[in-house]
Structure 1
Amino acid sequence: MKNVGTSPAGAAVEWAAEEPGSARQGAAPSAGDGRTRQLVARTVLEQGPVTAAGIAERLGLSPAAVRRHLDALVADGEAWIRESSSRGRRGRGRPAKLFLLTESGRARFGHAYDDLAVSALRFLAEQSGEQAIRSFAERRMAALVEHHREALAASGTVAERAQVLADALTREGYAASARTVGSGEQLCQHHCPVAHVAADFPQLCEAETEAFAEVLGTHVQRLATIANGDAACTTHVPHARSEDRTASRPETDHNAVASGSASRSPDRQDTAPSPHGGEPV
């Protein structure tokens, strides 16, 4: 007996349209397909491990239609298959295929990880102060870059290090890229796994920026962050080290002053520039 109480409104129409040989078979996925696939995925979430026949019975759909959606979920890495145990199985047929959701498939239904992380950090701040949040953020970034420190150290130029860092961040889930822009490199993170948490705790972004400066060996400037509503986290990495430029400037100025002093007559008074921008008066 079918459990029609859980069937969606209009399921019978979708069932008829999804039967083999129907006009819609092989067509691009429609909004109805998306709704049905979500129902199939939810049934696997709630009932799994479950067979295609079991899902079909629960939703009032044909087994063929359910298998089509299950195949799509498996192809997308959102579900996986295991064979039922031979224990208690009747007959000589092949073991039934049981479907379960993967972690990616469970993500369809959301997680409360961000809320949990924000609550935990707020509790930490209340109990131990804001410095505890900063220490946590610094330790988190130190652990992240430590896996890639050797590759970064082997890179010669700032541009090479920026690319190695972008590749490392991509492997950590940040979808990062690096490109030359003007006098430096622009490091972009197109995804941030902790953006919602960082919106409440900017210490995470601050620690990240400091870690970038440390591993790249130069001052960096954060231009934008996803946590602040920008499209990407963007960091400017200058080609020349800021401390090198600062150190060279006084020497250049000193030489210029010395040269100018030598060319002036000892008895000549310093004169102010004309307010009209012409020669000194």
Structure 2
Amino acid sequence: MLLKTRGALTAASIAHELGITNEGARLQLLKFTEEGVVSSFNESQGVGRPKQFFQLTELGNSKFPDTHAELTVKLINIMRDTLGDKALQTVIDVSEQSGKERYLKELDQLFDLEGRIAKLTEIRSREGYMAEYSKDDKGYLLIENHCPICAAAKTCQGFCSAELNIFKHVLGNEVQIDRVDHIVSGDRRCAYRIAEINN
């Protein structure tokens, strides 16, 4: 879970977070590496020996739920092959509209941007995206550490476009949203930079 939500970490960092010894963390990581769910790499950070970092492999990421992945991909391909891309896009558009309406019902009484982002984060976590957000001098960063529809998104990028459209719609016209990390592009997470537009 730590590697999923934080990305690559050293054994010492993991030991500190879990409140265990460095040796205990290394033994766990060695076991996970042998199972193929974790891999390691060395990275130089200035003076001294390079540090060893550990990260989830594709097999490790597959241990997190991907909602009915195989069936979803099969249905998408059948729809595309039998009804065409236009019909598939129509289904995505209807799903997008439904998402906008569903989210707006929950965000309806929230008028400040951070309150809306916090609620959106809560909704996305409930849906399996392991979402969190942070605030900095550039605005906000909404992070989704997991994508429960990753297989579908890889098969049809329209799902990712619809997701971004939903976020833009429910957070309002006075907000700029940019996707800065994308699981489908090989990043470990999806992340969105959110900032108020200064008129």
What is the TM-score with the length of structure 2 in the denominator?
A: 0.60
Q: Is the 8 A contact 1:179 1:186 kept in 2?
A: yes
Please tell me whether Structure 1 or Structure 2 has the larger radius of gyration of its CA atoms: 1
Is the counterpart of residue 161 in structure 1 residue 161 in structure 2? no
Is the counterpart of residue 234 in structure 1 residue 175 in structure 2? no
Shift of 1:161: 1.1
2:134 equivalent among 161, 179, 182: 179
Shift of 1:224: 1.6
Is the counterpart of residue 195 in structure 1 residue 169 in structure 2? no
How far apart in 1 are the matches of 2:133 and 2:88? 29
Q: Figure out how many residues of one structure are paired with residues of the other and give that number.
A: 139
2:107 equivalent among 132, 147, 152: 152
**Between Structure 1 and Structure 2, which shows a larger proportion of strand residues?**
2
Q: Note the aligned Cα RMSD (angstroms).
A: 3.0
Listed as ranges, the gaps of 5+ residues in structure 1 are 1-28, 32-106, 246-281
Secondary structure of 2:132's aligned partner:
strand
Any residues of structure 2 matched to 1:91-110 within 5 Å, and which? none
Is the counterpart of residue 204 in structure 1 residue 180 in structure 2? no
One-letter code of the match for 2:140? E
Shift of 1:210: 0.4
Using CA pairs under 8 Å that are at least 6 residues apart, name the structure with larger relative contact order, 1 or 2: 2
Secondary structure of 2:129's aligned partner:
coil
Secondary structure of 1:148's aligned partner:
helix
Q: Is the 8 A contact 1:183 1:239 kept in 2?
A: no
Q: Is the 8 A contact 1:185 1:239 kept in 2?
A: no
Inter-CA distance 209–111: structure 2 relative to 1 (3 Å threshold): closer
Deviations 1:197-226 (A, max 9, x none): 211211100000001100111342112221
Q: Is the 8 A contact 2:66 2:149 kept in 1?
A: no
Inter-CA distance 216–119: structure 2 relative to 1 (3 Å threshold): same
One-letter code of the match for 1:217? G
